[in-house]
């Protein structure tokens, strides 16, 4: 029997400002033998996502830091998770994890499909939760129409950059540096605005005419009637305090 010792990163102190190294503590744990219905997996990629900052607040200090991971099954007593398979699961920041999928009600682990020549890391990015958020959030909630203009705030982020490449609409991205704006143009955004150096309201008046969608706030189609004009709702939505 092989004994595995997991390294796990503990949420040691509530975050104050940006997370710091001493907000975490590294511990080790000898993994027990798996039971019927369980599998043991070794982490290959750990996720670091913005949502974790909020979700961790519902966990007590001393918990393993939350997060998804891509892992390879090393031992298994579950027919749906064979040895050698790569899986995605919410196992937290740890190098080894034991999981019983039957006891998980939401966000169950699943076996990754074959990505071919693409890297498995896409399973926690474009082909994982991030990509699903962009795809379904945009198509199923915003319901974009052919020929529409879409304005994406946080456009250089993990979700925003995918939204801008999905539907073939005219896309204006809003980001926080000239470098990010240049990258957005390189991946197909029609326009990009640096909100830290530009007057966003003025730029939108100049660049957008007619009805447009604002992502991620796809609650209504907003209107700019003509160049140089912009209704009051749009001005409120695009104040820097709202971006």
Would you say residue 241 lies in a domain?
Answer: no
User: In this structure, are 51 and 112 located in the same domain?
Assistant: yes
68 Cβ partners below 8 Å, 6+ apart?
46, 47, 49, 88, 89, 90, 91, 124, 128, 129
User: In this structure, are 14 and 104 located in the same domain?
Assistant: yes
Tell me the mean pLDDT in the region 15-29.
94
Would you say residue 234 lies in a domain?
Answer: no
Residue labelled with tokens 């798996």: 34
Give pLDDT, residue 174. 93
pLDDT digits (tens, 9 = 90+) for 87-146: 999 999 999 999 999 877 667 999 999 999 999 999 999 999 899 999 998 888 888 888
Residue labelled with tokens 């599998």: 39
User: In this structure, are 105 and 12 located in the same domain?
Assistant: yes
Domain holding 185, by residue range, is: 129-224
Determine which helix (DSSP H) or strand (DSSP E) holds 43, and give its type and residue range: strand 39-46
30 vs 226 pLDDT, higher one: 30
Give pLDDT, residue 200. 86
Give pLDDT, residue 229. 39
Determine which helix (DSSP H) or strand (DSSP E) holds 218, and give its type and residue range: none
Give pLDDT, residue 141. 84
Tell me the mean pLDDT in the region 189-197.
94
Give pLDDT, residue 105. 67
User: In this structure, are 50 and 33 located in the same domain?
Assistant: yes
Q: How far apart are CA 86 and CA 81, in angstroms?
A: 9
Q: Which of 62-71, 195-204, 206-215, 234-243 has the lowest mean pLDDT?
A: 234-243
| CATH number, domain containing residue 107 | 3.90.180.10
Relative to beta strand 24-30, strand 5-11 is antiparallel
User: In this structure, are 107 and 141 located in the same domain?
Assistant: no
pLDDT digits (tens, 9 = 90+) for 41-54: 999 999 998 889 98
User: In this structure, are 111 and 13 located in the same domain?
Assistant: yes
Give pLDDT, residue 242. 35
Cα-flanking dihedrals φ and ψ of residue 74, to 5°? -100, -35
- Overall domain count for the chain: 2
Would you say residue 240 lies in a domain?
Answer: no
Q: How far apart are CA 72 and CA 138, in angstroms?
A: 32
Would you say residue 238 lies in a domain?
Answer: no
């Amino acid at each position: 029997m092989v004994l595995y010792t997991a390294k796990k990163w503990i949420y040691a102190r509530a975050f104050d400002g940006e997370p710091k190294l001493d907000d975490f503590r590294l511990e080790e744990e000898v993994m027990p033998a798996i039971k019927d219905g369980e599998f043991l997996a070794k982490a290959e990629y750990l996720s670091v996502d913005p949502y974790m900052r909020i979700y961790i607040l519902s966990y007590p200090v001393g918990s393993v830091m939350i997060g998804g991971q891509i892992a390879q099954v090393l031992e298994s007593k579950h027919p749906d998770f064979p040895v050698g398979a790569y899986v995605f699961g919410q196992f937290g920041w740890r190098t080894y994890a034991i999981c019983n999928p039957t006891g998980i009600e939401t966000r169950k682990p699943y076996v990754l499909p074959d990505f071919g020549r693409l890297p498995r890391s896409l399973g926690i990015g474009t082909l994982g939760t991030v990509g699903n958020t962009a795809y379904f959030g945009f198509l199923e909630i915003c319901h974009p129409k052919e020929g529409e203009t879409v304005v994406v705030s946080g456009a250089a982020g993990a979700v925003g950059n995918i939204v801008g490449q999905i539907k073939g609409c005219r896309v204006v991205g809003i980001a926080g540096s000239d470098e990010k704006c240049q990258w957005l143009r390189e991946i197909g955004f029609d326009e990009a605005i640096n909100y830290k150096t530009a007057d966003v309201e003025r730029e939108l008046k100049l660049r957008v005419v007619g009805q447009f969608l604002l992502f991620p706030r796809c609650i209504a189609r907003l209107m700019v009637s003509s160049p140089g004009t912009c209704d009051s709702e749009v001005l409120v939505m695009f104040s820097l305090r709202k971006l």
